[in-house]
Amino acid sequence: MPRPSAEKALTIQSLKQSAQTPVETYSVELVCQTLEHACRLRASAFYIEPEKELLRTRIRTSRGLREEIQPTYPGFNCEALYRLSGTADMSPNLSLKAFKLTIRLDEDLFQLQCFPLTTAQGFNQISVKIQPQLQSPPILDCLQIPPLLLHQLRDTLQASRGLVLINGEDDYNVRRLYFSALQDLNTPARKIVSLEEISPLALPRITHVTLPRATQSVRNVFNYTQKLAPDVLGVEHSTDDLHLTALLHAAGNDQLQIVTTRERSTLDCVRKLSRSEVAPGALGSKLRAILSVHVLPEVCAQCKVVHHPSDQQHAWMKQYFPGFDPSQGHFAQGEGCDACAQSGYGKSRAIYEWTQVTPDMAAALSSNDFESFMTSMTLHEDFEPVSVKAFTLARKGLIPLESLQHLC
C-alpha cells in the first residue's frame, strides 16, 4: 500500500488507522482526540508531555492554555504519526525529526507541524502547531454571513471608493474574509493589488506584493503600488497602524482600499484608530465601513444536554443583559462524545458585526471626536454588538454560555 504523502489531507479516521500495536493505538487515539479538541477550539498548538507517573496535555488557544492531567497512562510514543508523514523509515534508535501533516476536519483543512522530542528521562513528547489552511478560491457566500449583511457588504465593496476595514482577533478568519472580499471584486475590469505579509493564496489576475519589514521601505512600496493605479488596493497584515497611515497618505480618492486589523471588537478597532497617527480628516473622508468577525464554537449536536447556569453566570447575565429573564433561556452544553473528541464542541460559528459609516459618524471622525463616533455607531438602528448576537445564540442553546463570557 502506498504511503500517504505529507501533502495529502488525512482525516482523523485515517490517522487512527495508522496504529499497529496496542501502545501505538493508545498514543494515536490520544493525539487524535487532543488534535480534534484543539481544532474545534481553534487552538494554535497543543502539547503532549508524559512524565513518570502522569501525562499532561495542554492546548493553547487565544484565551490561554488549557491543561489536563491524567494520573496514569500506558506509555506514549508518536511513532505511528511519524510513519504517516511518509518522510523516513522508523527506527527506535533514530531521533525523531519534525514533520508536517495536513488534516481535514468537517470542511476545514489544518496544517500541522509536529515536533517530537525525547526527553533526557526517555519520555516521548510531542508539540504540534496548528494552522488552518485557506482553501482556494475563498467565496463570501460560504462564510456564514447573514444575507442582509452580505448584501450591504457587497454594495459597499461595489461602490468602489473609500476605506473598508476587516477586523477580528482570529488570523485565519480575518484572512479568509479579506481574500474572499478581493475575490468577489476580481473581474477583468478591475486592477487589484494586494499587499501582504504572507501570501497563502495566489489569486488569478490579482497582483500580490509582499510587504517589507522596514518602515521606510513600507512607504516606498505604498508609493510604488499607487503608481500602478489599482482600482482596489488591499493590505493584509497583522500588525500596527503604520500601513494604514501610509496607505491613506498615498491613496487616491477614486480607489477602494481594504485593510485588515486585529482588534477584539469594532469598538476596540475605533479606539485604536483614535490613538493612531492616521489623520482624522483622512479617516472622516475615507472610512466607509468596518466589518468585524468573531468565531465561537457551537455546542456539539450529538451530546447536547440542558445547561443550568451557575450562580456566577447568573450574576454575569444580570450585569450585562439586565433585561433578560433567565427562565426564558434554553441554554445547552455538550457532555462530550466520540463525535466531538469529548470536547462538547461542534463546528465553529462565525459572528459578524457590521458598521456602515453614516454622515454623522464621518463628521465626528473628521473632527477627531471618537466619543461621538462611538455614540452614533452604537445608537444606529442596524448596530448589534457581537456580545448580544452571541448571547442570542447561547439562549437558544446553539453555543455554550461559557464561550461568550470573554466578549463582554
Nearest distance from residue 382's CB to Zn ion, in Å?
35
Residues 165-194 that bind Zn ion (CB under 5 A): none
Nearer to Zn ion, 29 or 369 (CB): 29
The C-alpha atoms of residue 225 and residue 250 are separated, in whole angstroms, by 9
Nearest distance from residue 336's CB to Zn ion, in Å?
6
Nearer to Zn ion, 130 or 303 (CB): 303
User: Binding-site residue total for Zn ion (CB under 5 A)?
Assistant: 7
Nearest distance from residue 249's CB to Zn ion, in Å?
51
Nearest distance from residue 344's CB to Zn ion, in Å?
6
CA distances from 17 to 25, 89, 99 (A): 8, 18, 19
User: From the DSSP assignment, how many helices (H) and strands (E) are in the chain?
Assistant: 13, 16
Q: What is the DSSP string of 348-370?
A: EEEEEEEEEPPHHHHHHHHTT-H
**Residue 234 · residue 194 · CB < 8 Å:** yes
Long-range (24+ apart) CB contacts under 8 A made by 278-284 are 278/241, 278/244, 278/245, 278/248, 279/248, 280/365, 280/366, 280/367, 280/368, 281/366, 282/248, 282/249, 283/163, 283/248, 283/365, 283/366, 284/362, 284/363, 284/364, 284/365, 284/366, 284/367
Residues 34-93 that bind Zn ion (CB under 5 A): none
CA 305 to chain CA mean position, Å: 27
Nearest distance from residue 335's CB to Zn ion, in Å?
7
Q: Which parts of 90-201 fold into alpha helices (H)?
A: 147-158, 171-185
Taking residues 309 to 348 in sequence order and writing x for each that binds Zn ion by CB under 5 A, - otherwise, the string is: -------------------------x--x-xx--------
Nearer to Zn ion, 185 or 332 (CB): 332
Residues 208-267 that bind Zn ion (CB under 5 A): none
Nearer to Zn ion, 139 or 305 (CB): 305
Nearest distance from residue 9's CB to Zn ion, in Å?
23
- Is residue 105 involved in binding Zn ion (CB under 5 A)? no
Taking residues 272 to 311 in sequence order and writing x for each that binds Zn ion by CB under 5 A, - otherwise, the string is: ----------------------------x-xx--------
Nearest distance from residue 36's CB to Zn ion, in Å?
10
Nearer to Zn ion, 37 or 175 (CB): 37
Nearer to Zn ion, 12 or 365 (CB): 12
Long-range (24+ apart) CB contacts under 8 A made by 309-318 are 309/401, 313/401, 313/402, 313/405, 316/405, 316/408
Nearer to Zn ion, 42 or 243 (CB): 42
**Residues near Zn ion (CB under 5 A):** 300, 302-303, 334, 337, 339-340
